[in-house]
Structure 1
Amino acid sequence: MEKVKIAGQTKDTGWQFGIRKSVPLNANEVWAFLFSESGARLWLKGTGKEFSTFKDLSHIRTKWKLKGWANEATLQMRVISNKDKTTIAFHVEKLLNGSQREETKTYWDKVIKIIAEKITANR
């Protein structure tokens, strides 16, 4: 009997969630905004103080958790350059269960929407 796949459940590391949003800006502008004081305030809440990976103009990896969680998940943020736009991607892994995945989805849905609004408002 074949196992039913559940959205967000991984084979080895629990649960995960990812979200992407494209904006009509180049990667340099997007990266600069995300690491500016006003941009970082939008997405760095709950993250670790150190990045285990930091590749300028590309991606970061760090620990992340929502308030009230005992465990930490792993957050990856990527900036992906395209011809006339840039995609901002957040991926969270090592979530404990489907409930944490739903909380994560709700949180990052709001965050990425606000980032897209703020980053394009000054255009």
Structure 2
Amino acid sequence: MSDATGKTKDAGWEVGVRTTVAAPVPAVWQYLVGDGLDTWLGDIDSLPTETGAGYVTKDGVKGTIRSRTENVRLRLSWQPSDWPHDSTLQLTVKETITGTTIGIHHEKLADRDERRMMLGHWKNIAAAFDRHFG
């Protein structure tokens, strides 16, 4: 059923994108939570480290840190200013033979159109990660 691609029983619509870069996990993690924040989250000075802390980017994306495991996973709520609902965004890093795989998983999307839009968005972000570490 291709019409239901990305539809889950419990989390609404979702999308996942991965890329593997030629850098060690600690370097990739430091980039994602440091200088690379602007690349994937938006213009923000820093991301809180504690669970439950809120954040707002300069372009209006807001959310809350749900969990953070250093060098493994960052899970947060994510809501652009023009969305009437929040969603859940998760970034993971995992060591591979050739470097580090960065996984982006976005769930609780409203519908197929929102999923399609976010798939394109996260593919562009993954390509930016590739360029940075390339």
Give the TM-score normalised by structure 1. Answer: 0.85
Number of aligned positions between the proteins: 115
Alpha-carbon offset, residue 64 of structure 1 = 1.1
1:116 paired residue number: 130
Alpha-carbon offset, residue 12 of structure 1 = 2.1
Alpha-carbon offset, residue 67 of structure 1 = 4.7
Question: What secondary structure does 2:132 align onto?
Answer: helix
2:14 paired residue number: 16
- Are 1:84 and 2:82 an aligned pair? no
* Structure 1 letter corresponding to 2:74: I
Give the TM-score normalised by structure 2. Answer: 0.79
CA gap of 1:66–1:114, structure 2 versus 1, over 3 A, is same
Higher strand share: 2
- Structure 2 unaligned runs (5+)? 43-60
Which stretches of structure 1, 4 residues or more, deviate above 6 A after TM superposition? Answer: none
Question: What secondary structure does 2:65 align onto?
Answer: coil
Q: Deviation per CA, 1:20-49, whole angstroms, max 9, x where unpaired?
A: 000111101111111223x1111123352x
2:108 paired residue number: 94
What is the aligned-residue RMSD (CA, Å)? 1.5
Structure 1 segment 6-45 matched on structure 2, within 5 A: 6-37=4-35, 39-45=36-42
- Structure 1 unaligned runs (5+)? none
Q: Deviation per CA, 1:39-85, whole angstroms, max 9, x where unpaired?
A: 1111123352x311000000010011345211111000000111231
